[in-house]
A and B are shown apart, each in its own frame.
Chain A
Amino acid sequence: MNILFVLIPVSLLLVAVAAAAFFWAARSGQFDDLDTPAVAAIAEEKNHEPNAR
């Protein structure tokens, strides 16, 4: 059971890394606009047809 004294701090370290990654994402504006990319991904495909108009 003594291994817990090592494992738990290690897991907390991982959590800290995860939090830091989230902070980076938030700061660089990844979460600012969640609507437009969603729509753009769906609609993009039809437009690849050669457009003679």
Chain B
Amino acid sequence: MDIAPFWFPKWATSMTDSCFHCGLPVPHGTDYHLIINNESRALCCAGCEAAALLITNAGLDDYYRLRDTDNRTGESVLPDLSQWDSEAVSNYCFPRGEMAFELTIGIQGMRCAACGWLIEHLLKKQPGVVDVQVNAFTARAMLTWNHKIAKLSDILTPLAKLGYSPNMPQQTDGTEIAREKRTALKRLAVAGLGMMQSMMFAEALYFGEGSMDLATRDFFRWIGLLVAVPVIFYSGRPFLQGALREWHARRLGMDFLVSATVLLAFVASFVQTLLQGPAVFFDSAVMFVFLLLLVRHVERMIALKATAHTAMLAGQKSLQTWIITTKGMQSVSVHQLKLGDVVRVHPGEMVPTDGFLSKGIAMVDESMLTGESHPVVKQKGDPLLSGSICAGTSFDLQVTATGADTKLSHILRLAERAQAQKPRIARIADRIASRFIIALLIAVIATGAFWLVHDATRTLPVVLSMLAATCPCALSLAVPSALAAAHAALSRSGVLVLNADALPTLAKADYLVLDKTGTLTEGRARLVEIEVLPANNENRVLAIAAALLRGSAHPLAAAFSRYADPALTAEKTSLVPGQGVQGLVEGVICRLGHATFSNDPSRREGFITLNVGGDVAARFKTHDLAKPNAREILQRLSADGLQLAILSGDNETAVDEVAADLNIKQRLARQSPEDKLRFLESLQAQRRIVAMVGDGINDTMVLAGANIALVMDSGAPSAHAQADIILLDGKLNGILSARRMARRTQNIIKQNLLWSILYNGIALPFAAIGAMPPWLAAIGMSASSLLVTLNALRLHSKRINSMERKLAVHLGPSSDSTELSTRAQI
């Protein structure tokens, strides 16, 4: 094993290998190996082995040398790519010459630049591909291919095999970020060049003090002025605009202080130049602008990377939706929708495109669009907005807008909305800064008055130094920079943080409540036992059950889908959370669910009952596997100080099975959403901070009530709307990564706040007594801000993150994750 320290005993390492491809622990008793880069490597499953084989056979082993994140687990079951050959997609393709087409696709799952390289080379080797250009930053690829030689779905198949999912990219994102980045770079360039020139001229003036003739001195001053103008008014424009905004909002903020300092220096120096006074300070002003711009740019880039990555990971799943056609209900991709199609939206699902309600009444939750949390009642003919969620029974909508007019992903919308928020601790820091600035201005005026009386020549430099040295830039950067770096780092591991307060709260959490189905288990239930009551036909009861569950977000739907009969459909289906599903099949009311829900007098543990027209027709038992590695992950979480509990709507036997498998003592079965909420509230009454992990519609209420909500990305949109953190690929170790990162972030934030307060405290007296010339003050303040930002970047350090991941596999969990524990896990 190359990743365990050399002194680590071999017998211990062999028990806890990690998969070379995806990083998850290798389960006991499996034996997947492959020779990669001339060394035999262990893999965790058939999917990863197939993916690694694909990569090595294409001669692309280098990828493993170059990557800096782990891969997604390889796919052993391929998704359906045939929709890529459809008409709808060809609308987005540009013809290039006679036989080739060009299309820009988004690729989900690209975690680093090496992935981009791998994808580019892999695609280039596919027959029919003319050219591929991959941009890892925006996660897009421009593909040109000859459609006479190969179909698009064939070309994209190897991508899917490796676990990357191709999708249609949002047309708007990426370009705005690029434009913003370019403008920022232009401003930096002007400021940087201007600063260098300005310093040279200022140096001449300093050295020539007293011995320079007036004409030359004035010349240098005017040139200094000339250079300062574009720097202050072009490069410094963000600060000036910010100051104006703060002025209108009647709040004293950082931008105001910075602008005031810079403008004071500029105007005072201008006056001195005209009047041929003693000293000018153009260099200080310019330096101030440049250094501050630099720090802001670095911080902004980190934040942008976090946003872009989050948006990219979240935004672009190719959505499937149900349409009603003459052939019955069919599943199609959202891209294939045409005007006038009738879409059926089931409870908990999101309205995929704009349209109007074609019949009956519907209840929709428009909170993601309007912020209004109460469901809205819609009548026939009322417009329905893309992004709203079905809150009542299923309804049909007629499509009125398609393609680029519709926003496809609600998670993307949530991510965008979340970016605009500020965490509580940052708001507190802002308020402190605000008051500090007022105190500072008073101090500056007082000191200025003092010097005016005692030695008037030093007034201006002292005032400038005080303003520059004590600007609380570092304080207001302390928290946002740390959080942005943490969010960016987590998004690389597949954990999307949607709420700025999420990490600080998660670090303090001491209770973890987990849902069972879909969260701890795969959610892909299998049918294991059937009991058919006399006078019922087995195939028919299975078909009825399948019809009731078809298209619903219920995890059991997959278990029954293969028994579906296309001729048998269910109307007016409604899902009662925690109880079951009800609908009309061929005019008869049928119910499938818990014994009480289905009026079943006999309650066989572990079975759900099908009730057709008032009579019990059959009972079914399903089994749902726990997710791999769930046990280890939960153990680590428990060792990290979280008390665990499982809350499930399922019956006792099923819950006990899973709890025993995962070694969790506290569990409650048959919980309705209200029961779960009550449990949560009782914990909170004991002043516990509760984190909740769930995925389904019936978790929505509890997720809203928890201190911090983590949701699987496979869950219902209504659950996502309540999420603070989204776990991609349903990976449970995302919880562990998030918790560890949260702890580290808290440390960094504390360090940052301490440093910025300390620095301001020390610099102020020095500046007041005149011991600090303005240029030194400018450098000092900028350096302290830079220090804070760089400290935050430690959270994003690739070396530490990947090292931590590998050590986390081998060594025991540590309560303070910045310390390397050497306890071996036996």
Q: What residues make up the interface of A, taking CB atoms closer than 8 Å to B?
A: 1, 4-5, 8, 11-12, 15, 18-19, 22-23, 26-27, 29, 31-33, 35-36, 38-40, 42-43, 46-47, 49, 51, 53
Is B682 interfacial (CB 8 A cutoff)? no
Nearest residue (CB) in B for A1 is: B216
Enumerate B215-241 residues with CB–CB distance to A below 8 Å: 216, 219, 223, 226-227
B117 x A4 contact (CB < 8 A): no
> Which residues of B142-185 have CB atoms within 8 Å of chain A's CB atoms?
178, 181-182, 185
Please, how many angstroms separate the alpha-carbon atoms of A32 and B116 in the complex? 15
Whether A31 and B113, one on each chain, are in contact in the complex, defined by CB atoms closer than 8 angstroms, is no
* Residues of chain B contacted by A26 (CB below 8 angstroms): 182, 185-186, 189
Partner of B178, one of A5, A29, A35, A39: A29
Cross-chain contact A15 with B66 (CB below 8 angstroms): no
Q: A13 to B63, alpha carbons, bound, how many Å?
A: 47
Q: Enumerate chain B residues within 8 angstroms of A47, measured Cβ to Cβ.
A: 59, 121
**Residues A15 and B216 in contact, CB atoms below 8 Å apart:** no
In this complex, which of A32, A42, A51 has the most chain B Cβ atoms within 10 angstroms of its Cβ?
Answer: A32
Total A-B contacts with CB atoms under 8 angstroms apart: 76
The reply to whether B62 and A46 form a contact with Cβ atoms under 8 Å apart is yes
Given contacts A35-B137, A36-B136, A42-B66, whether A23 and B189 have CB atoms under 8 Å apart is yes
From known contacts A5-B219, A12-B197, A26-B182, infer whether A36 and B134 are also in contact, taking CB-CB under 8 Å: yes
A4 to B201, CA, bound (A): 12
B35 at the interface (CB under 8 A from A): no
9 closest cross-chain pairs (CB), A and B:
A35-B113, A22-B189, A39-B113, A26-B182, A33-B137, A43-B62, A36-B136, A39-B117, A36-B116
Q: How many Å from the CB of B775 to the closest CB on chain A?
A: 20
Distance (whole angstroms) from the CB of A1 to the closest CB of chain B: 6
Residues of B within 8 A of A36 (CB): 113, 116-117, 134-137
B58 interface hit (Cβ, 8 Å):
yes
Q: Point out the residues of chain B lying under 8 angstroms from A49, CB to CB.
A: 59
A39 to B60, CA, bound (A): 13
With contacts A4-B216, A15-B197, A33-B137 taken as known, whether A39 is within 8 angstroms of B181 at the C-beta atoms is no
- B575-598, CB < 8 A from A: none
Q: Please judge, given known A-B contacts A26-B182, A53-B58, whether A43 and B66 are in contact too, CB under 8 Å.
A: yes
Taken residue by residue from 283 to 305, chain B's Cβ proximity to chain A (1 for < 8 Å, 0 otherwise) reads as 00000000000000000000000
CB-defined contacts of B134 to chain A, threshold 8 Å: 36
List residues of chain A with CB within 8 A of the CB of B112: 35
Tell me whether A51 and B66 are in contact in the complex, defined as CB-CB below 8 angstroms, given that A29-B178, A36-B116, A36-B137 are known contacts.
no
A36 nearest CB across to chain B (Å): 5
Q: CB < 8 Å: which of A5, A33, A38 contacts B135?
A: A33
Closest-by-CB residue of A relative to B120 is A40
How far, in angstroms, from A1 to B137 measured CA to CA in the complex?
52
Report the separation of the CA atoms of residues A23 and B230 in the bound assembly, to the nearest whole angstrom: 14
- Measured CB to CB, the nearest residue on chain A to B138 is A33
Residues on the A chain within 8 Å of B137, using CB: 32-33, 35-36
- Does residue B57 face the partner (Cβ distance < 8 Å to A)? yes
Given A12-B227, A29-B178, the answer on whether A35 and B216 have CB atoms closer than 8 Å is no
Contact B223 A31 (CB under 8 A): no
Complex CA–CA separation, A12 to B189 (angstroms):
14
Residues A27 and B182 in contact, CB atoms below 8 Å apart = yes
Q: CA of A36 to CA of B227 in the docked complex: distance in angstroms?
A: 36
Docked Cα-Cα span, A15 to B201, in Å, equals 14
Q: List 10 A-B contacts (CB under 8 A).
A: A18-B193, A33-B135, A33-B138, A35-B116, A36-B134, A39-B66, A42-B66, A43-B114, A47-B121, A53-B59
CA of A39 to CA of B63 in the docked complex: distance in angstroms? Answer: 10
- Cβ contacts under 8 Å, B116 to chain A: 35-36, 39
Per-residue CB contact flags for chain B residues 110-126 toward chain A (1 = under 8 Å, else 0) read 00111011001100000
Query: Given the complex of chains A and B, what is the CA–CA distance between A16 and B121 in angstroms?
Result: 41
